Structure formats: C-alpha cells, structure tokens
C-alpha cells in the first residue's frame, strides 16, 4: 500500500520541518523519506538560503505593508477566513502576524468577521473541553481511533486517525473502506517507517483494537508487542482518555467533513492530504501556545524493523507454540490463551519451585498466571 499521494513540495517541506528539529538524524530521515542524503542536504541548503521559497516558488505578500488601508486589512482577514471557515479571531490574527507581518488584535479580527456576517459557522472548538494533560515528549504516546464513518457518493468512508499526544501532530489520516486489522496494519507500517515507533498507543475498546470474551489480545496487539510497543485502552464510556484524538475529530469534522462532498475513497484522501498539511504545519493551536504541531514534533529514534525480531525466552521457561483456537498444551493439560496468539510462542515461567504455578509471557508482555493444580 503506497504512501498517500501528496505534492512533492509538501514532502520537501515536511522533510525540512523534521530535519531542522534539534538532534534530528538527517541520514535516517532521508532513508525514511526514500531520498538520497545528497537530495536531503540539497533541500536543506535551499531552505537555509531562501526559506520556503527555496522549496517551491510561491508568491508571498510583503511582511511590512505600512500603506495598507483598513479595507485592505479587512480583505486579508476575510481571505484567511475564506480559506479556513472554522478559524476564529485568535488563529487568524496569529497567522496574519506570523506569515505576513500584519498585526491585528484578535478582538479586531473577530469584529471584522462579525461585521461581514462570517461568525455564523459552527466553531471547531464547540463541545465540552477535556482536562488537559500531555506526555513529556513526542512519541511517548500516540492516540488512535476511527472517526465516525460517513457516506461518499459511492461508498462509506471510515477515516483512521493517529495523533501524537505531546505535539498534537497528525501521524495518520487515512480514508478506509472498513475498520479491519489488515488496512490498519498497512497504514501503521507506513507511519512507523516514516516517523519511527512510539512507546505506547492508546485506543478505545472497539474493533479492531480490543479483544472480547476469553480472548485477551487481538492480532493488532500481538503485532505491537512483537514491535516493542505497549497497547493501552480507554476506560469504557471515558473518551477523555483519548481526548486529543477526540478533539482532532471535532476539528476534522468542522473544517473538512462538514464543508465538503466526496465522490469515493480516493477523492476523500485527495482532500484529506492538503488539510492534514495545514493542520500540522500552518494551523496554530491554542493548547500549544499558538505553535503548530510540527514545531513541537520530531520523529522517534526507534526505527521500524525490516522484519520482526525473533522471540527469545530465558532458559528456565517452558516454551509452547499456540495452536488453533488459542490453545496450548502444558504438562498434559490443555490451556486456552487467546486466538490472536495463534502461531506465536509463549513462555511459562515457574513462580515457585515445583508448586505448579506459572507466569505466562508473550515476549515482554505478561499474559497472567496459571495454577495447574486447579486445571483439570
């Protein structure tokens, strides 16, 4: 499954944004972006000489415009609002100062919008605010979920979203036909290859994230464990645990889904990609003191392996291969673990000398304990 089609300019700019972060590994980024080191350093050199214009020729307004009239300033405000109908006075004022050197108070921008009847749209910030908490560094935690599916002209679309908890950087925004393991895994392979591996991923308790009944691990969880990624789940009926992704969904709905029509999945992805760029690199975030997510994000140093590392256990453990249905045989007793572990090797580590109790491990992950004296 190829990386979502975006313009060459967008890929250049994202590469430069990540490569100019403190302690960035330029060689590793070149590999992840599929370019040579010579090309990577050429992009960086052009950016250092001419800024963004060195990546793509763009017409830009002068940063200092002392002769502007009030009508011209209002036109600037309305132009930004036209491009981003869900943005309010604070975001527009910040972007005008950052990108064009035009200083306007947020209250002035709001008044301009009010005079021109541009405040009728639903704000992307509507809704109950979450209690704010963030992890200390990028990639400590990614939040992942599906945005509620919607109809295109030809089929239903299930957008997969992944947000970095610390920076709010949108890692994945993928239009999918179904909420299944295979397309989710394919999208995450792309993300891990470009951005590296996070320490932990949090999801809700729906499909395909959480197991049900006697099963404790899904295929997705098994894959994460093999990669050394911890998987956690939000408490039922507590969306606050995935609050940043929930907040991203509200913004995505207000700025994209609520204002556009899509023919099919390909058309949806073509419209998602430019907006994702704006969200990560242009849209200021109040929760980030008006920084963009790209200003706070940097890729993980943990590289996606070409093949899964082998599963190795200590010599004092009893290693068994999980069979069809999640069953294993231990000392003549049939034990059921999890269907998601079929074909994997698990280890039984004695808890005490010859008393029949074991800790059960899959890689580094403890599945639980078993007392063979209670198993018939």
pLDDT tens for 14-23 read 999 999 988 8
| 150 and 44 within one domain | no
Q: What is the pLDDT of residue 3?
A: 44
Q: Is the pLDDT of residue 67 over 50?
A: no
Q: What is the CA radius of gyration of the chain?
A: 25
Domain that includes residue 175, residue range: 142-262
Q: CATH no. for residue 149?
A: 3.30.420.10
Q: What is the pLDDT of residue 163?
A: 96
Q: Is the pLDDT of residue 234 over 90?
A: no
Find the distance separating the first CA and the last CA of the chain, reported in whole Å.
Answer: 47
pLDDT in tens, 80-98: 887 887 788 788 888 888 8
| 171 and 252 within one domain | yes
Per-position DSSP letters for 197-212, written without gaps between them? --SEEEE-SSTTTS--
Q: Is the pLDDT of residue 142 over 90?
A: yes
Any bridge partners for residue 369, and if so which? 359
Name the helix (H) or strand (E) containing 71: helix 70-83
Total domains in the chain come to 4
Mean pLDDT within 321-348: 91
| 325 domain-assigned | yes
Dihedral sign for Cα atoms in the order 363, 364, 366, 371 = positive
**Which has the higher per-residue pLDDT, 89 or 198?**
198
Given the DSSP bridges, would you call strands 150-151 and 142-146 parallel, antiparallel or unpaired? unpaired
Q: What is the pLDDT of residue 95?
A: 83
Three-state SS for 14? helix
φ/ψ region of 123 (left if φ > 0, alpha if ψ in -120 to 50, else beta) reads beta
| 245 and 174 within one domain | yes
pTM for the model stands at 0.75
| 271 domain-assigned | no
Q: What is the pLDDT of residue 309?
A: 86
């Amino acid at each position: 499954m190829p990386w979502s089609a975006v313009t060459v300019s967008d890929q250049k700019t994202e590469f430069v944004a990540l490569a100019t972060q403190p302690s960035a590994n330029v060689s590793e980024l070149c590999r992840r972006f599929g370019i040579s080191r010579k090309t990577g350093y050429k992009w960086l050199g052009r950016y250092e000489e001419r800024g963004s214009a060195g990546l793509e020729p763009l017409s830009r307004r002068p940063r200092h415009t002392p002769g502007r009239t009030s009508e011209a300033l209002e036109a600037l405000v309305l132009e930004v609002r036209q491009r981003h109908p869900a943005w309010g006075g604070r975001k527009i004022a910040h972007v005008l100062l950052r990108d064009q050197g035009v200083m306007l108070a947020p209250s002035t921008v709001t008044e301009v919008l009010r005079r021109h009847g541009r405040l009728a749209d639903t704000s992307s910030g509507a809704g109950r605010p979450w209690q704010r908490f963030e992890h200390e560094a990028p990639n400590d935690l990614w939040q992942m979920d599906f945005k509620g599916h919607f109809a295109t002209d030809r089929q239903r679309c299930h957008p997969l979203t992944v947000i970095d908890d610390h920076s709010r950087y949108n890692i994945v925004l993928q239009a999918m036909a179904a909420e299944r393991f295979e397309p989710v895994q394919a999208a995450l392979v792309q993300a891990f290859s470009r951005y590296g591996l996070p320490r932990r991923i949090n999801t809700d308790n729906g499909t395909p994230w959480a197991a049900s009944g006697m099963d404790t691990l899904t295929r997705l969880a098994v894959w994460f464990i093999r990669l050394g990624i911890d998987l956690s789940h939000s408490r039922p009926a507590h969306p606050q645990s995935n609050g940043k992704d929930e907040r991203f969904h509200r913004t995505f709905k207000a700025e994209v889904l609520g204002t556009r029509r899509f023919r099919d999945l390909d058309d949806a992805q073509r419209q998602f990609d430019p907006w994702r760029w704006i969200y990560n690199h242009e849209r200021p975030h109040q929760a980030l003191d008006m920084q963009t997510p790209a200003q706070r994000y940097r890729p993980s140093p943990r590289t996606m392996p070409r093949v899964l590392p082998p599963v190795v256990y200590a010599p004092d453990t009893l290693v068994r291969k999980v069979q069809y249905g999640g069953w294993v045989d231990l000392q003549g007793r049939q034990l059921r673990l999890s269907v998601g572990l079929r074909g994997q090797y698990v280890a039984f580590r004695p808890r005490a000398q010859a008393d029949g109790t074991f800790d059960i491990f899959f890689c580094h992950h403890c599945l639980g304990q078993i007392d063979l004296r209670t198993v018939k």
